[in-house]
Structure 1
C-alpha cells in the first residue's frame, strides 16, 4: 500500500472518530442539533400559511429550501471553523510535520464535516415530511434527484469553506465572515419565494450557490406544478447543475492553492504567538 493510500485511510478513520466524538459529546451535539430543531419548529408554524394566491403551502415550499440552506451553511462554516481552530491550536502544524499528513488531515475534515451536514439534514427532512404536505418524494427518481443535489451541493460548498478557513488565523475571523452569508440566506428564497423580492435582489441571489441549492432541492422534492412560483415558472435543472458545478470546480481549483499557502506559513513561532494572543484575550 503506497503512502498516499495509507494517509487517506488514516484520514477516513480520523474523520469517523471525530464524528463519533461529536455525537457523544453533549455540548457538541447541542450545537449540531440546535438549528435543525429550530427549523422544524419554524416549519410547524408555517404549515398552514399559503404563498399569495398560488394555493401552495408556505411550509411545503420552505422545507426543501431550508434543507438546501443547511447543506450550504454547514458545509461552508463547518470546515472553515475547524481549519481556523486547528490552525490556532497547532493541530494543523502537527499534520504538516507528518509525511503525507495534510492529505490525511483534509480527508478527515471532509468526513467529519460531511457528517455535520448530513445529520442535521436528516433531522429536518424526516419530521418535515410529516409536518408539511404535498412533498413529491414518492418515486425512486425523486430520491435519486434528491441525493444527487445533496452531493453536488456538498461539492460546491465544502471547498468554499476550506478557502474561507485558510484565510483566517482564528475562529473569530470566520465568525465575522458568516454575516454576509446570513444576508445571502435572507435574500435567496429560503423562507419566502424569491419571486416576491425586487429584481436586483434576485440577481444578487442567483450569483451564489445558496439560491441554487434551494432551487435544486425544491425541484427534487416538490410536484411539477410548484415550479409556477419560481423565476421563469421553471425548475431550471440545467442552470442549477451548471452554477453549482462552476462553484465546485472553482472551489477545487482555489482551495488547494490557499491551503498550501496556509500550510507553508505555519511554524512553531506563529502557533505560539496565536496561543499567547488567545490567552491574553481570555484574561
Structure 2
C-alpha cells in the first residue's frame, strides 16, 4: 500500500506541474479567479443593507469557500474523462493501481485548487476593503479548507463514478451552480427566504463559505450571519459528516465502478465520442 501511495503522490505532482505548463489549462486556472476579481471590483463599495458592511468584504471569503467546494466538480470531470479514455482501466490492471490513481487525483486536484485560491486571495486582499487582514485567523482558514476538501473531493469521485461520459457533466454542474446561488456566496443567506436558507445550510458549500468569512472578516460582521454567530462547532460537525460519508462511500463506489470497466466498454464509449465529433 505504501508504494502505491508514493506512486500516486508522484503522479499527482506530475499532473499538477503539467497543468501549469499547458497553455489551455493555465488559462483555465486564471480565468475563474479573474472573473471573480472583476465581480469583487464592482461589489467593493456597495453596502449590505444599512449595516455598513461592504458586500465585497462579505463576498471574497465566501468565493474562496465556493471555489474550494467546486473541487468536487473538478474531481468528477477528471474521473469521468479518465474513465472514458481507458486510463481507469489501465490503473485497474496494475496491483494497487486504483489506490495510486485516487491518491494522484486528490493531489493534483487539491493542488490546483490551492493555487487557484492563492490567485484569487492575494490580489483580493489588496482590492477589497473591510477585511481583517492584520488579525485574520489563518488557523481557522486552514482547518476549514482542509476539512472542506476532505468533505467535497470524495463526493466528486462518487459523481464521476456515476456519470460515464464527459457530456453528462452538465448534469452535475447545473445543480451545483444552483446550490451556490442559495448558499450565501454573493449575498448573506439571512437575506434569503427561510426554506431556501435551510436547503443552503445542508450543503458543504455554505459552511465552507461561513468558515472562510469567520477567518477573514472582523468580528463585527457576524451580525449578518444566522444567530449572530460564526458557528464553528456546527461548521466542523456538518463538514465532518460530509467527510465521513464521502470517505466511507467513495471507495465502495469506485471499486464497483472499476469492476464493471472492460476494454469493450472503453471502445464503445470511444466510438460514441468519435460519432459525436463527426
TM-score, structure 1 as length reference: 0.96
**Matched-pair contact (CA < 8 Å) for 1:187–1:194:** yes
1:26 aligned onto 2:7 = no
Q: d(CA) in 1 for partners of 2:97 and 2:134?
A: 44
Cα deviation, residue 134, structure 1: 2.3
Cα deviation, residue 218, structure 1: 0.5
Q: CA RMSD in A?
A: 0.9
**Matched-pair contact (CA < 8 Å) for 2:59–2:186:** yes
1:57 aligned residue (54, 62, 80): 54
Structure 1: 5+ residue runs without aligned partners? none
1:261 aligned residue (247, 256, 262): 256
Q: d(CA) in 2 for partners of 1:265 and 1:235?
A: 45
Compare 247-256 and 128-137 and name the one that shifted more: 128-137
For these two proteins, the number of residue pairs brought into alignment is 278
Cα deviation, residue 33, structure 1: 1.6
Structure 1 segment 1-283 matched on structure 2, within 5 A = 4-73=1-70, 75-139=71-135, 142-283=137-278
Q: d(CA) in 2 for partners of 1:255 and 1:249?
A: 10
Q: d(CA) in 1 for partners of 2:208 and 2:273?
A: 37
Q: d(CA) in 2 for partners of 1:261 and 1:116?
A: 28
Structure 2: 5+ residue runs without aligned partners? none
**Matched-pair contact (CA < 8 Å) for 1:164–1:174:** no
Q: d(CA) in 2 for partners of 1:178 and 1:19?
A: 23
Q: d(CA) in 1 for partners of 2:24 and 2:248?
A: 35
**Matched-pair contact (CA < 8 Å) for 2:151–2:246:** yes
TM-score, structure 2 as length reference: 0.98
Q: d(CA) in 2 for partners of 1:247 and 1:64?
A: 21
